[in-house]
Structure 1
Amino acid sequence: MNLKDFFTSDEIAIAMGMGRSRIVRFSVSLPSRLVERFGEACRTMGYRSRSKAVHDAISNFISEFEWMREDSGRITGAILVMYYMDRPGLISEISEIKRNFRGAICSTLNMIAGENKCIEIIAVRSKSKEVRELAKALMVKKGVRQVKTALLAL
């Protein structure tokens, strides 16, 4: 494979120190299937290089979780949690977390997302710090596959 298969001439020039801004090259280890799916998504979205797609993905990741650093202000929205129902004790652990944050939770909705997966939508309205703590408590549980937030400042 050639660098030009994955990067534009401008990206190569910038990476070699000949461009306008300083670019840092780093390595990431990923499962092969994830890399394949990423490549498919890049092609579908029309990206000419994986570097640009990674740049955009990292930028989105940062902006999506930017609210997690702020302690003041009230927010409202939803936390989406996908988890494995067959993970021993996980449903009880999630229920306990929800009890601990019942002041921030307005409503919940559960739906089956496959043989052993469940998606829970948790509607929230509270101080950003409390919602952040709730999201983090869910994220770190073993058996929770993914947590997404859709939040708005009040």
Structure 2
Amino acid sequence: MKKFTKGLIAVMVGGMALFASQAMADGVNGVPGSVDDPVVTKSYVDKAIQALGGSAGGSSLTVVELYPGSTLYGFEGTEFIVRTGQVQAVAGNNGDGLTDLTAGADLRAGASVGHNHLLLIARSDNRGLRLAPQYDGVAHIMVRGKYELR
């Protein structure tokens, strides 16, 4: 039993020594400000994030005015938020509609779109928004992403 205990203690001490030597080696390589661990400024990080966001199609919102007789089409990944007016969904070529992320629902062709609901265009197949037939005013739609008015 004494041999087993001494062996166990020897293994534990050896493991701790190995762990300590590895931790010290890691500490030497990770000196703040060195090539292995560079220090960057907030403005550098902000520029890097902005560059990534710009390449993804832009993250800014554009307000689009939708007039009677025109249709607002979105492309894959485009987001709409209806702010004013009475608007209805325009389905894609295969009959699928818009994804209403706020309500957790699919809006089929002709479905009324609620104000301030976030809508997502899943595919670029002629999905979009148009004014309801009984409404003759102007609707204001906030758009993020690529769109087309026809």
Tell whether the structures are fold-level matches, with TM greater than 0.5: no
TM-score by length of 1: 0.30
- Return the structure number with greater helix share: 1
TM-score by length of 2: 0.31
Larger Rg: 2
Report which structure shows greater RCO (CA 8 Å, sep ≥6). Answer: 2
